[in-house]
Structures are given as C-alpha cells and as structure tokens.
Amino acid sequence: MTNNNTESTISMINLQQQYAQQQTEIDQAVAQVLHRGDFINGLEVKVFEAELAKYTKANNVIACANGTDALQLALMVLGIGPGHEVIIPAFAYVSVAEVVVLLGATPVFVDIENEYFFIDVTKIKQAITPNTKAIIAVHLFGQTGNLVALMDIAVEHNLFIIEDNAQALGASYTFNNETNFLGNWGHIGCTSFFPTKNLGCFGDGGAVFTNDKFLERKIRMIASHGQSVKYQHDLVGINSRLDTLQAAILNVRLKYLTEQQNQKTEIYQYYSQQLAGVEEIILPKTNPNGHPAWHQFTLQVKNGKRDALKSFLSKKQIPSMVYYHIPLPAQAAYKKVGYKPENFPIAQQCASSVLSLPMHPTLSKPQMDNIINGIKAFYYG
Ligand SMILES: Cc1ncc(COP(=O)(O)O)c(C=O)c1O
C-alpha cells in the first residue's frame, strides 16, 4: 500500500511492475551471468542457497528446478515408493498427490479444516496404517495451521513430516517460546519460486530445506542424477537444478522479500478491516501461534454465491481467482473407486466457496478500495 501505483487496471498479480522496481539490479545480476557463462551450478546458486538459509534459518538449503521436484526429492530421499502410504490434504495444489503416485506410493487423502486450510489433524490418526510413512502438510495461502498437533502425531507414530511451503515462504510458527520458519518444523521443507510466489523467479525454481546433514547430502546426490562424483551414479536420481540465471534474479529479489511481505501484511489488514462487516463472507484468519507470510487473501463466500460474486467483480474489471475448484481426491487422475465427496466435507465446501482477491505488493489503496467497494456493491447494491 506504500507504493505510488496509479494504474486504474487491477491485476491479480503484477510481475512487470515488480520487475520495474528492481530492474537495474536484476539486469546487472543477469548480465554478470551472461558474461561469465556459468549457466549450470554457477556462483549465484551457491550464494542463493546460503542467503536463503540465512533468511529461513534452515541449516541446509538445496536449490532445485521447481517446487514439485522439491517434493519428489523429499519423498525419494526418505525411500518412499511402492507399498508405502503418504497422508496428504484433500485440498491443496496437485503436486502433493502427483509426486506420491509417480513414485509408486499411495496417497491417502485427509480432509482439511476451514480456519487455516490446513490438514485436519483430528482426522489424521484414523488414516494411519502400518504402511504409512509420511505426512505432507501444505501451508496454503501463506497461512499457518496447527503444526504442534501435527508434530505430536508424527512423533507418536514415527512418521516423517514434509512441509510444502511453496505458498508460505517467510511464515513462521511459535511454540513453547520457540519460533521457527515454516519448512523447518518437519523433517524436510519444500518450496517453489514460481514467478507468482512470495519469492518468485522469472521461470521455474524450487528448494528443499532440511536440518539433517545426512539428508542434505543425499538430496544433493538425488537431484544430480544420483552421483556422488561426476559420472559415478550411486543412487537412482533425477536432474533437478536451479538455473544460475534464476538464482541471480532470486538473490536480488530475496533482499526485498521482507519489505514486500510487510506490504502484503498491510494489504491483509486493510482488506480485513474494510470487509469485516460483510457477513456473507468469511475472512482469512491468523493462527494465534502463527506469523503468516500472506500469499493470497482467500475469502470463503457463504450461501453458494461465490461464482456470482466472482462474475459480478469481473464485470467491474476486478479480477479474482479460485484456488482450487476441485478437491484432490475428486480429480479424475486421483479418484478411486468408491470415492465419496461426503468423506471430505470441508475440502468440498472450500472448493465451492473460496475466492482469492488481488494481493501483490504493488496494489494501491485506490485499487483496494475499488475491490472492497465492488464486494460491498454485490451484497448491498
Ligand atoms: C502449495 C504448492 N505446492 C507445490 C507447488 C509446485 O511448485 P512448482 O510449480 O514450482 O512445481 C505449488 C505451485 O503452484 C504450490 O502452490
């Protein structure tokens, strides 16, 4: 809200404007790589891993090609494959289901709760079997869920926790006076640098976090064709690298991350204050133990009016997005015989009620007022 954006057109995300704000530094950083030519595993990749480790207080950061690969690397390093079950939320981005199935393991869907869109920890125990190896917890929209209860279950049942932090880089959680960034609570954290993420590059990128040195070494090997030494392949691996050019861009963008997240927090506060009286929408909440890193401002629209509200706003040139309109277990690729929507009532309800409003750091106050007035006009005329 502190920007001078006077453009009247509201966009869901404004990558061009964000680039313009950092253009000189980004252009210089890119030019240096172009002149040096170390496009693969170049200097900036190492610098970025070290800087991101400092930012997130993770002991080890392994850069990789995208957030989906980060999740796949996490499962591979834990040896998850055929005969194993992985518990995942029924409402999330598809990557969590995809990687489990690609590795020959079985995804076991558990419903979410509708306060923070987090896996419903009260329903996890009944999904655990002797074959369960891990739980993937997804921190949606930059919010934080009930991590402590999740960790308790993991300890009790000797399960691995993988945190999908693609939408919540920079968020943290406090328990027993200890504050940790998301991605550090579980055994392995995964994130994405997709251009629209909190920390986005200009293409694809991702990273894995772990505080375990043994896992770190093995993840590096798996991400590099399973090699310990060049052309010596000790493990079956994949090719998953962050390009040096993307790392150079991320090094610049990381410097502005805190400032940009603070701007998004202001946007969250403004929307929340101004929309507080609109009874037919549920506003996103902040977990008392959590410190969100807002990625989306996601409303829940009551009484089946989500699509009508979306198209009303659209006619006023106000964009909004639905993340996600189909729960994962209802997706054709992951639907099992005997699938019953009533087994995932909250995921089902969220799929038909969520609506995300524009929330990028270059959004101006007049633009926000326009969005807020649009929503009020829908309800009050
Ligand atoms: C929650 C979540 N997990 C994983 C991913 C996958 O990241 P990527 O697109 O970099 O593979 C995304 C990206 O949209 C995401 O939002």
pLDDT in tens, 237-277: 999 999 999 999 999 999 999 999 999 999 999 999 999 99
| pLDDT for the residue 2 | 46
Strands ordered across the beta sheet of 85-89: 60-64, 206-210, 188-192, 160-164, 132-138, 85-89, 106-110
| pLDDT for the residue 7 | 56
Question: Would you identify the CATH topology of the domain 256-380?
Answer: Aspartate Aminotransferase, domain 1 (3.90.1150)
For the Cβ of 191 lying below 6 angstroms from any atom of ligand 1, the answer is: no
Could you tell which of 12, 68, 198 is best to mutate to test the pocket of ligand 1, judged by most ligand atoms within 8 Å of the CB?
A: 68
For the Cβ of 138 lying below 6 angstroms from any atom of ligand 1, the answer is: yes
Give the position of tokens 């963008």: 253
**68: enclosing H helix or E strand:** helix 67-77
Range 197-221 burial, b when 16+ CB lie within 10 A, else e: bbbbbbebbbbbbbbeeebbebbbb
- Calculate how far, in angstroms, residue 341's C-alpha sits from the geometric centre of ligand 1: 24
- Calculate how far, in angstroms, residue 277's C-alpha sits from the geometric centre of ligand 1: 33
The architecture in CATH of the region 16-254 reads 3-Layer(aba) Sandwich (3.40)
Please give the number of the atom of ligand 1 that sits closest to the Cα of 66.
10
Could you tell which of 64, 72, 95 is best to mutate to test the pocket of ligand 1, judged by most ligand atoms within 8 Å of the CB?
A: 95
User: Do residues 318 and 10 touch, judged by C-beta distance below 8 A?
Assistant: yes
The one-character DSSP state at 162 is: E
For the Cβ of 164 lying below 6 angstroms from any atom of ligand 1, the answer is: yes
The one-character DSSP state at 280 is: T
Please give the number of the atom of ligand 1 that sits closest to the Cα of 205.
10
User: Do residues 291 and 261 touch, judged by C-beta distance below 8 A?
Assistant: no
- Calculate how far, in angstroms, residue 167's C-alpha sits from the geometric centre of ligand 1: 8
Cα 288–Cα 292–Cα 271 angle in degrees, nearest 5: 95
| pLDDT for the residue 8 | 75
Please give the number of the atom of ligand 1 that sits closest to the Cα of 204.
10
Domain positions in the chain are 16-254, 256-380
User: Do residues 74 and 62 touch, judged by C-beta distance below 8 A?
Assistant: no
For the Cβ of 267 lying below 6 angstroms from any atom of ligand 1, the answer is: no
- Calculate how far, in angstroms, residue 239's C-alpha sits from the geometric centre of ligand 1: 18
| pLDDT for the residue 4 | 47
Could you tell which of 194, 208, 238 is best to mutate to test the pocket of ligand 1, judged by most ligand atoms within 8 Å of the CB?
A: 194
Please report, as a single letter, which amino acid is at residue 79. Answer: G
**Closest C-alpha residue for ligand 1 atom 14:** 93
Residue segments in the chain with a per-residue pLDDT below the cut of 50? 2, 4
pLDDT tens string 224-246: 999 999 999 999 999 999 999 99
Give the position of tokens 């969590």: 96
| pLDDT for the residue 180 | 93
| pLDDT for the residue 337 | 75
User: Do residues 204 and 247 touch, judged by C-beta distance below 8 A?
Assistant: no
Report the distance separating Cα 111 and Cα 345, nearest Å.
7
> ω into residue 380 within 30 of 0, thus cis?
no
